[in-house]
Amino acid sequence: MTKDTVTITNNATGEVAEFALSRGTVGIPAVDIGTLNKELGVFTFDPGFMSTASCKSAITYIDGDKGVLLYRGYPIEQLAAKSSFVEVAYLLMNGELPTEFELLSFKDEIRHHSMIHEALRVFFNGFHYDAHPMSMMVGVMGSLSAFYHSELDMNDPEHRRISAMRMVAKVPTIAAACYRHSVGWPFVYPRLDLGYCENFMNMMFSLPSQKYVDKNNYIDPVTIKALNLLFILHADHEQNASTSTVRLASSTGANPYACVAAGISALWGPAHGGANEAVLAMLAEIGTVDRIPEFIAKAKDKNDPFRLMGFGHRVYKNFDPRATITRETCHEVLAKFPSDDPLFELALALEEYALKDEYFIEKKLYPNVDFYSGIIYKALKIPEDMFTVMFVIARTAGWVSHWMEMMSEPGQRIGRPRQIYTGNDVRDYVVESDR
């Protein structure tokens, strides 16, 4: 027996087998149980992946107890303070920070791919005016494969790279088009002279009759700084539900646009990326500070499905480092764009109340990144049903990075979990007249 193994005994049969520990650079080792069924005749059962690593990855590391988040080894706090979203996207996709020249070329390539095909633009007319932008995102992202089928050989590294670049470059254009369709405004083409975030805001809000600029003829720098920051914080988060969905779909060999569309669908849920929209809906429902105790009681009531949106995390059990950063930015943005909207005051009061409550302390439920991101987006005049779409723009960089990492590894196997069958045992068919 070596130190780097775990021994498992099947008490039902008396069989014993040893399994190797698989260690990463840092973090908790995993027991490699790939041969468990062969050796001991059993499967593992772990719905929700509470103790299961689904892959090896060199992209993002989280230590939930210490509140650590690293992209390619760089602490999120340093990237948030010093980097830009496009540089972070390069880092995630390529593994290293770019040189000045590499960053310029990357930006150029993103600009070059930011247009969408005119035929794709017409797709939006098929959506009802009140379609949720996320439903349009799923459909339009998935349909991109129809336009680039000559570059879908996933064994070709250049095809993989160009597919990933296309998604990162086009996702803000598609996102803004979803919004413009919902408000009936004309579509705005991307501009080559603008940066990633400036371009997105211009595509969202400029009108044929009005430029999207402040009184100094600039796109407001506080807005752009906040957007860059939120996109950086949301860019990747290791094997979360949407990234795992992208990986599972990719394991079948499906094309990357279809896989990312699957990731967008998974992100939409209120337990995941839909939380930022749900936080605002919850704050509107609470309405006033005096109703906070009533809603805290609902969140604690096991017979009530209500949960405090923007609180809790599967991995972070002390604090979410992204929430610490967004809280500061939230103050900065609200100082720049003062509003008499009582939402922010309500959010802070709710946070304070919950953090002192025994239930939340005992269960280690802290505000997560989405508690504040929705409030920042609201202050930037992003409509609430676009909040999760904003998450999509940022997370696309993470999804394509995981997809490229996975597809470049030899010996890919289809992801195929097993189950514990709880249905009927074998029984004979009964003809309709005898049932």
Residues that bind ligand CMC (CB under 6 A): 237, 240, 271-273, 275, 299, 307-314, 363, 365, 368-370
Nearer to ligand CMC, 330 or 365 (CB): 365
Cβ proximity of 71 and 92 under 8 Å: yes
Nearer to ligand CMC, 224 or 308 (CB): 308
Which candidate in 181, 234, 313, 402 is catalytic?
Answer: 313
Q: Report the nearest approach of ligand CMC to the CB of residue 276 (Å).
A: 8
- Give me the residue whose beta carbon is nearest to ligand CMC: 312
Nearer to ligand CMC, 207 or 297 (CB): 297
Is-catalytic flag, 370? yes
Nearer to ligand CMC, 220 or 370 (CB): 370
Nearer to ligand CMC, 28 or 271 (CB): 271
Nearer to ligand CMC, 141 or 282 (CB): 282
Q: CA–CA separation, 333 vs 161, rounded Å?
A: 36
Spatial neighbors of 147 by CB under 8 A, at least 6 apart, are 117, 119, 120
Q: Report the nearest approach of ligand CMC to the CB of residue 340 (Å).
A: 27
Nearer to ligand CMC, 249 or 275 (CB): 275
Q: What is the maximal distance between C-alpha atoms in the chain?
A: 82
Cβ proximity of 336 and 222 under 8 Å: yes
- 3 state SS for the chain: CCCCEEEEEECCCCEEEEEEEECCCCCCCEECCCCHHHHHCCCCCCCCCCCCCCCCCCCEEEECCCCEEEECCEEHHHHHHHCCHHHHHHHHHHCCCCCHHHHHHHHHHHHHCCCCCHHHHHHHHHCCCCCCHHHHHHHHHHHHHHCCHHHCCCCCHHHHHHHHHHHHHHHHHHHHHHHHHHHCCCCCCCCCCCCHHHHHHHHHHCECCECCCCCCCCCCHHHHHHHHHHHHHHCCCCCCHHHHHHHHHHCCCCCHHHHHHHHHHHHCCCCCCCHHHHHHHHHHHHCCHHHHHHHHHHHHCCCCCCCCCCECCCCCCCCCHHHHHHHHHHHHHHHHCCCCCCHHHHHHHHHHHHHHCHHHHHCCCCECHHHHHHHHHHHCCCCHHHHHHHHHHHHHHHHHHHHHHHHHCCCCCCCCCCCCCCCCCCCCCCCHHHC
Q: Report the nearest approach of ligand CMC to the CB of residue 270 (Å).
A: 6
Q: Report the nearest approach of ligand CMC to the CB of residue 15 (Å).
A: 33
Spatial neighbors of 429 by CB under 8 A, at least 6 apart, are none
Which candidate in 220, 236, 320, 370 is catalytic?
Answer: 370
Is-catalytic flag, 156? no
Nearer to ligand CMC, 40 or 229 (CB): 229
Q: CA–CA separation, 279 vs 286, rounded Å?
A: 10
Q: Report the nearest approach of ligand CMC to the CB of residue 316 (Å).
A: 8
Q: Report the nearest approach of ligand CMC to the CB of residue 403 (Å).
A: 18
Positions annotated as catalytic residues are: 313, 370
